[in-house]
């Protein structure tokens, strides 16, 4: 239920931005998993990111309204780590509104993943499905199976 605005910060010499401008994020590269988690009813100007977190088993992303200024999905769920593919199971992405780039899900082995009843506003969004999700009844998206 967060309503957030993200501002990217400048380096002291103002030559470049020093962060990626993440919205709500869980990032890990070596020693945590996502189990039975929820990201619900958030509204923000930067992406929801579950990034390189290892096993995902039980994640609900519902009722969010997200846009992002960068070239990354508004809802970004990636179990895979730098060391290789990681399991992605029982992820439900339902009833969200995206406004920039769409939805990305990745992980393997994968089972029980669902992307349903989401809506993309403004231009064409994409659902990048790299986790065998069942994709149904979404509006304004091109489906990319990888």
Taking only the tens place, the pLDDT of each residue in 82-117 is: 889 999 999 999 999 999 999 999 999 999 999 999
Q: What would the mean pLDDT of 27-31 be, rounded to a whole number?
A: 68
| Residue 143: CB atoms within 10 Å | 14
Q: Supply the pLDDT for residue 14.
A: 85
Q: Is the model more confident about 59 or about 30? A: 59
3-state secondary structure of 143: strand
DSSP string, 25-75: EEE-SSS--EEEEEEES-EESS-EEEES-S-EEEEEEES-EE--SSSS-SE
The pTM is what? Answer: 0.90
Nearest CA to 47 out of 69, 19, 32 is that of 69
Alpha carbon distance 36, 51 (integer Å): 16
pLDDT at 19: 64
Q: Could you give the CA distance from residue 78 to residue 108 in angstroms, rounded to a whole number?
A: 10
Name the band, by pLDDT with cuts 50, 70 and 90, for residue 72: confident
């Amino acid at each position: 239920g967060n309503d957030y605005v993200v501002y990217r910060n400048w380096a002291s010499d103002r030559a470049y931005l020093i962060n990626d401008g993440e919205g709500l994020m869980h990032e890990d590269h070596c020693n945590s998993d996502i189990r039975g988690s929820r990201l619900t009813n958030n509204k923000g100007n930067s992406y929801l990111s579950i990034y390189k977190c290892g096993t995902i088993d039980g994640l609900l992303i519902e009722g969010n309204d997200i846009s992002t200024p960068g070239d990354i999905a508004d809802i970004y769920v990636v179990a895979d780590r730098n060391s290789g593919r990681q399991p992605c199971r029982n992820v439900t992405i339902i009833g969200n509104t995206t406004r920039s780039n769409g939805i990305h899900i990745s992980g393997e082995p994968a089972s029980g993943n669902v992307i349903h009843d989401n809506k993309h506003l403004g231009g064409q969004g994409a659902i990048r499905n790299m986790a065998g999700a069942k994709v149904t009844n979404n509006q304004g998206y091109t489906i990319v199976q990888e």
